[in-house]
Structure 1
Amino acid sequence: MIEAICFDYFNTCTRAVCRGGGHRRTAEVLGVDPGEWLALLDRTYDERARGAYPTHLAGLRRLCTELGVEPTTAQLREAAELRLATVQADAPLRPETIDVLRTLRSAGVRIAIVSDCWFELPLVLPRTPLAGVIDAAVYSCQVGHTKPHPAMYATACAQLDVDPARCLYVGDGGSRELTGAARFGLTAVQLRAPDLGAHLTFHAEPDWPGAWVTTLSAIPDLIDAPVLVA
């Protein structure tokens, strides 16, 4: 019997993530080349997601320094606000997400968001409707590790007060999160929604051999399953 579920955030609770024009505007505010900025974001993904910088402004400044630019504090603050808005615009919640999570909580299932992220999501998520339908949130930038490190799953299970054997993990497979969850003892299920495929992701897991669904709406039907094949 499933007592709790950990959901990945990006590409799982949200629609497929695609980078929009906000990234170009952020680069322009910082005075860096947009193409170089996007390439740098890709190169530093793991570092940023592990919370390698003491503050988000320090992180933005460090990134700019790598591109040979020294922005002012005002520029950094404006860029940080643009980053927050851009992350929200690039990753709107799936239409079914809130209803699915409400259904699960009504059934007594505890819910956590477990996400690899930089500074944006801890600030963005509390502003979304999701905040009212979850019991915990685990952010890699605060844990100091990214999935599939065991610390991410251990933190989630501790916050949910659940044994891994009674916890489901749902994600699109980025960061090899499904393999990591299964190794920690959770039952892992991949979301293979129709909009996924060309989405923005890092360290994808296209070879996942275990259970999968095509919509989050299928998850409530899994909570009474004693074992799912992974």
Structure 2
Amino acid sequence: MPRYQAVLFDFFGTLTRCVRRGAAHQDTADLLGCPADTLAEVLDRTYYQRASGGLGNAEATLRWVCDQAGVRPSDRAVRAAVASRHRAVRADTRLRDEAVPVLAALRQRGVRTGLISDCTHELPAFLPQLAVAPLLDVRVFSVQVGRCKPDPALYLAACQRLGLVPSDCLYVGDGGSQELTGADRAGMTAVRLAAPDLAEHMAFNVDRGWDGPVLTSLAQVLDLLDPLPAGRG
């Protein structure tokens, strides 16, 4: 039996490579009649308000963003911009080469897997299309739970869905949203992924003082588990 019965992952910057806001976001700004730098400033400033899900669905949230930016697009433009933003966030999302092999190897060892992500409405919509989706036993999204990391509710929701206690779980993340501190306080073992590409990663409220275990590659997660049982593999 592995020491950990489950490994829970952050998404952006952990299962994915570094995330930066790409050129496709310009289309969203154009549809809204908003300067791209103004839209980016509002999106950055309001990230946790949007990711906590309290502003309504994707369309209502984007209307609220427009209010913050001082623009008044038509309902038709807002609907088109919601679809445009979905495409833009999806375009920013590039899975790490190790993501699928690591998740598959964990399952081969009998270890459960899960995702805990601070996110807005786009990720829950497009995650089912990604290669990692069938390899995740649970998916916990802040925009659906109504809380953001490091709130213990996110970590405990994952445990409840898995039927495990926090001490059964290893948590892996790049450190955004003080997620490592949150996982540790919830009773999990937390490790930071410090892959070289993350120097350019867009992240908020980072765990800068983290002094716990650090990995430089997602594949190193497997080194933290007990060896594969004899006769498997």
Q: Distance in 2 between matches of 1:8 and 1:58?
A: 26
TM-score if structure 1 supplies the norm length? 0.95
The C-alpha deviation readout for 1:175-205, integer Å capped at 9, x for no partner, is 0000110111100000010101121000011
Superposition pairs for residues 29-48 of structure 1, below 5 Å? 29-48=31-50
Matched, 1:117 2:119: yes
Give the secondary-structure state (helix, strand or coil) at the position aligned to 2:172.
strand
Structure 1 unaligned runs (5+)? 226-230
The C-alpha deviation readout for 1:147-193, integer Å capped at 9, x for no partner, is 00010100011111111111000000000000110111100000010
Is the 1:3–1:223 Cα contact (8 Å) retained in structure 2?
Answer: no
Q: What is the aligned partner in structure 2 of residue 222 from structure 1?
A: 224
TM-score if structure 2 supplies the norm length? 0.94
Q: Distance in 1 between matches of 2:225 and 2:30?
A: 47
Matched, 1:190 2:192: yes
Structure 2 unaligned runs (5+)? 228-233
What's the RMSD between the two structures over aligned residues?
A: 1.1
> How much has 1:5 moved relative to structure 2?
0.9
Q: Which amino acid aligns with 1:210?
A: G
Q: Distance in 2 between matches of 1:66 and 1:113?
A: 31
Q: Distance in 1 between matches of 2:67 and 2:208?
A: 35
Give the secondary-structure state (helix, strand or coil) at the position aligned to 1:195.
helix
One of 38, 51, 54 as aligned partner of 2:53: 51
One of 131, 134, 151 as aligned partner of 1:132: 134
Q: Distance in 2 between matches of 1:15 and 1:78?
A: 28
How many residues of Structure 1 are paired with residues of Structure 2 in the alignment?
A: 225
Q: Distance in 2 between matches of 1:159 and 1:216?
A: 24
The C-alpha deviation readout for 1:39-78, integer Å capped at 9, x for no partner, is 0001110100100212110111111122222222221222
> More deviation in 73-82 or 196-205?
73-82
Q: Which amino acid aligns with 1:152?
A: L
User: Runs of at least 4 residues of structure 1 off by over 2 A?
Assistant: none
Matched, 1:181 2:183: yes
Give the secondary-structure state (helix, strand or coil) at the position aligned to 1:2.
coil
> How much has 1:224 moved relative to structure 2?
2.2
